Amino acid sequence: MQQPKIMPRGSKYGSNYWISEGPKVGMRQVTFYSDLEFDHWVYVETEPEVEKYCEQYPEISYVLNGELHTSVFDMWIQLRDGSIKCCEIKYESELTSENPQYERTLRQIEAQRAYCEKHGIHYEIVTDKHLRQNPYELENRLKIISFVKNNPVPSATAQLRKYLRNERKSMQDLTDLSSIPYPLVHNACLWLCYQGVIQLNLDESIICRKTEVWLREPC
């Protein structure tokens, strides 16, 4: 079982400290040490292809300027197909040569990439440019997590599935077709989206009656 490396809150870690519960990891308490790490977790937790994950794992060693250093990946992820990837979360500004920590960052990335190549793991650097390109999507995914954490599977979920198709329909359309009250349609759609049964146009507007719903294509 993967276990996160818990960092002490201090001058280096914890300036933006986040704690939540992760549904994909059995509601275990998950911890993040920057706003950007938290935003990345929101995407990971709501990605249906993710089977499980572990933040701050694994820890590796590397040499810089003749000294031994350690590095901890920001996220270890196992997908449903069994493949593994490790992610490092960085602000774009950290990846420029003008940044005073650039050399250290570059060496850390090289060490992480070498580790992943050796172990047959996909390596990914995720930046704020990617995570924050669409504020609607981030807010909607956070809403989905909040609902899943605090509610059981909605009773209307099975009934609503009878009306789902490949073509897009709004939540209001589904309400009219099924005669299920809109609040129940809304809740069922959040859960089905989390499960990967349907897709929502999360990047176009805040979830509402006009939000479009369609069946997710099988992988």
CA separation for the pair 202, 189 (Å, rounded):
12
125 and 26 assigned to the same domain: yes
Query: Among 80, 115, 131, which residue terminates a domain?
Result: 131
**Residue 84 maps to a domain:** yes
Alpha helices in the chain (DSSP H): 35-45, 102-119, 128-131, 135-150, 157-161, 171-178, 182-195
Q: At 18, give phi and psi (nearest 5°).
A: -125, 135
53 and 125 assigned to the same domain: yes
Please give the pLDDT value at position 204: 97
What's the N-to-C CA distance of the chain in angstroms? Answer: 27
Structure tokens at 149: 């954490």
Tell me which residues of the chain have a pLDDT lower than 50. 11
Please give the pLDDT value at position 139: 98
103 and 171 assigned to the same domain: no
Please give the pLDDT value at position 219: 59
Structure tokens at 45: 């937790």
Contact 124, 85 (CB under 8 A): yes
Residue with tokens 């605090």: 150
pLDDT tens-digit map of 135-165: 999 999 999 999 999 999 999 999 999 999 9
Please give the pLDDT value at position 161: 97
Please give the pLDDT value at position 1: 77
**Residue 108 maps to a domain:** yes
